[in-house]
Amino acid sequence: MPCVSSHLDQMVKMPCSYSSVIDKIRMVEQILSEFRLNKEELKEVMERMQREMDRGLRIETHKEASVKMLPTYVCSTPEGSEVGDFLALDLGGTNFRVMLVKVGEDEERSWKVETKNQMYSIPEDAMTGTAEMLFDYIAECMSDFLDRHHLKHKKLPLGFTFSFPVRHEDIDKGILLNWTKGFKASGAEGNNVVGLLRDAIKRRGDFEMDVVAMVNDTVATMISCYYEDRSCEVGMIVGTGCNACYMEEMRTVELVEGEEGRMCVNTEWGAFGDNGELEEFRLEYDRVVDETSINPGHQLYEKLISGKYMGELVRLVLVKLVNEDLLFNGEASEQLKTRGSFETRYVSQVESDSGDRKQIYNILSSLGVLPSELDCDIVRLVCESVSTRSAHMCGAGLAGVINLMRERRSQEALAITVGVDGSVYKLHPCFRDRFHKIVRDLTPHCEITFIQSEEGSGRGAALISAVACKMAACMLTQ
């Protein structure tokens, strides 16, 4: 079914009177209208984002800014001459990935990248226990991977994608500011993450590793996509979390000395709104999601957009409609009343329904509800409303970044490529198109190309390791 809102004339005619069905749908539409943002409202979000970005870049306002604009110390991009074997780690959610990346040249001396990877699931006790437990588990996974690929005897350069807010002091040194995305491991915040990893590797003692670079997943995605398109200067993730990075003019990055060239800045824009910038855009459902999260009052922009919260937002709206006697004959099952029961993947599946409602019916049945056809249509409307707002809010943020880049460079028009990764962007049937449209609507003087990253986080981390190794080799020979 195409990515359009279900209209009244598409709704099924119920056995009860037609007018009562139309009345019910109009009342549903009225409740859902809160999720719709017009262009002026999205421009306002964009401009507020830009103001917070500027505050994050300035020394005197950085501490209070909600958008931290963290320097990454990534200034160089891969040029195609870094060769060798590199290991990459990717920690950014409940799954952790180890990857071997072989960077070489083919017969035409073009750059060639081959990858082998293994996914490991992180146990709850490692996520919420101590930092030592978490990093010991990561080292155990690395050891398993090296055994599988007979690499224990090699000391490989390692790139670590670590997708949490970090204050970098160098490309291989970063202090964890705070956990997000359900992680709570004690003893990590305020400490050097690379040091914690090195200590865990040392404790095992069965392999050696040269940790040469640590980057955020957005940075790794940008670098990975730069390999495909040399105009890629923005990286973005829309998955469990939501964040973006971009190449900023060094003269505006006041936290780092130097005026020349550009440095990649990790915006950490998920925290936009933490100082009240989004108050009038947050609905009752957003407030419940925030209050029941493990970090109330934090990451408020991310909570409007990302996959970690989208399903729960839909569930809260469905419960409201039940309470208003507009859905499921006014009766919700115990499953539907249970926090977290409506998974974000269900939102994608509902909106992927072909129109026969079978997929929607099956999902609702699994939640202990026996829906009518009208109920199925209303659930689809709710999913569309929540995911469309997500795409539009995210688009307003990215438009802010791209317009700022154009202004900084004093260009009449800017041609730019954005590398994107993340499950919501990749798997939701309509998010991509809605998101692209809003970004382009809000950036009239920019020509934007979007590239979907493949294996972005791991490959990008390895490529940054390659750059770091090359830079170190150049410095030794100077």
Known catalytic residues are 181, 217
What is the total residue count of the chain?
A: 478
The rounded distance, in Å, linking the Cα atoms of 467 and 470 is 5
Are the CB atoms for 237 and 460 separated by under 8 Å? no
Provide φ and ψ at 211, rounded to 5°.
Answer: -75, 105
Closest to 181 measured CA to CA, from 293, 89, 285? 293
The rounded distance, in Å, linking the Cα atoms of 478 and 471 is 11
The rounded distance, in Å, linking the Cα atoms of 229 and 217 is 18
Spell out the long-range contacts of 53-59 with Cβ–Cβ below 8 A and sequence spacing 24 or more: 53/267, 53/269, 53/400, 53/401, 53/404, 56/267, 57/248, 57/252, 57/253, 57/254, 57/255, 57/265, 58/254, 59/254, 59/255
Q: How many Å separate Cα 164 from the centre of its chain?
A: 11
Helix (H, G, I), strand (E, B) or coil at 91: strand
Q: What is the secondary structure of 416-471 as a DSSP string?
A: EEEEEE-HHHHHSTTHHHHHHHHHHHH-TTEEEEEEE-SSHHHHHHHHHHHHHHHH
Q: How many CB atoms lie within 10 A of CB 125?
A: 12
Which residues pair with residue 377 across a beta bridge?
none
Are the CB atoms for 200 and 138 separated by under 8 Å? yes
